Amino acid sequence: MVKALSLRAGVTILILALAFCVPVTAAAQQVSIETSGEGDVVTVRASAEMQVDPRIVWDVISDYDHLAEFISDMNGSRVVQRDGDKLLVEQTGEFGLLFFRQPVEVTLSVVESPMRRIVARAVGGNLREMEGRYELENLPTGTVRLLYEGRVVPDFPVPPIIGTMVVRSVLSRQFTAMVKEIMRRNALARSAAQPSQGDERFPRRLLNEVSKSVDRSERVSFACRCVCGLFTVLKQIRNAQAR
C-alpha cells in the first residue's frame, strides 16, 4: 500500500513538473528567468540580451493594445487613458495550470520613460498587489538587455503550492512571449531593409529560419527541465519506499 501511494504521489509530482516545464530560451543570446515565492507573494526577475534594434524592443513592450495577440495567457489589453507618459491600461487574462483556472482582471497605472523603462502598478482588479518594471540597456557589445522585475499578490484563493507555481509559470511565459515577439519583429525589419536581389522569397526564408531556431531552443529547454523533474520524482519515490 505504501509503495502504491508513493508511486501515485510520484506520478502526480511528475505531472506537475511536466506542466511547469516552461521554455524560456527564445532566440536570443542569453535569457534568464528567476522566480521565488513567500506566502502569497510571487516575485520574478527576468532578463534577455538580444542583437536587435532597441527601438523594436521599446515598440513591443509598449504595444499595450496588441499584447494579447502574442501573449497566450492574456485575453485583452487596451489603453483607456493617456496623459503624456502616464497611462491607464486595462488587461484581462487567466492564471492556469492543469485543473486550476482563475480569471484575472487588472487596471494598471503605467509611467513611461521612453527608450529606457516602463513602470506599472495595479490600481484595480482582482490582484491585491502587482508591480512590474521593464528596463532597456544598450550594452557596449552592441546588444540590448531587457530586464523585467515583477511582484504579484493575488486577491483570490489559490491552492497551496500549485497556486505559486501557476503565477510563476504565467509570468515566465509572458516574458518569453515578449522576447519572441521582439525577435520576430526584428527579423521582419531586417528582411524589409535588406532584400535579396532577384529573390522575392528571401524574407519568408529568413522568418522560417528564425522560427526554426526558436523551436529548437525551446525543445532543448523543455527537455532539460523535464529530465530534472523526472530525476527529482524518482528520488522522492525511492526515499518514500526506503521509509
> Domain 26-183, what fold?
Alpha-D-Glucose-1,6-Bisphosphate; Chain A, domain 4 (3.30.530)
CA distances from 27 to 52, 56, 112, 144, 241 (A): 11, 15, 26, 13, 42
Per-residue pLDDT at 65:
97
| Strands lying side by side in the sheet with 100-113 | 30-38, 41-50, 144-154, 127-138, 117-125, 100-113, 86-97, 74-83
Let me know: does 119 contact 96? Beta carbons within 8 Å: no
Of residues 169 and 91, more confidently modeled: 91
Mean pLDDT throughout 206-226? Answer: 51
Domain boundaries, the chain: 26-183
Q: Please state the pTM of the whole predicted model.
A: 0.69
Residue 120 has pLDDT above 70, yes or no: yes
Per-residue pLDDT at 160:
60
Mean pLDDT throughout 210-220? Answer: 50
Please report which confidence band the pLDDT of residue 153 belongs to, taking 50, 70 and 90 as the band edges.
confident
Per-residue pLDDT at 233:
46
User: How many percent of the chain have pLDDT more than 70?
Assistant: 62
Per-residue pLDDT at 95:
74
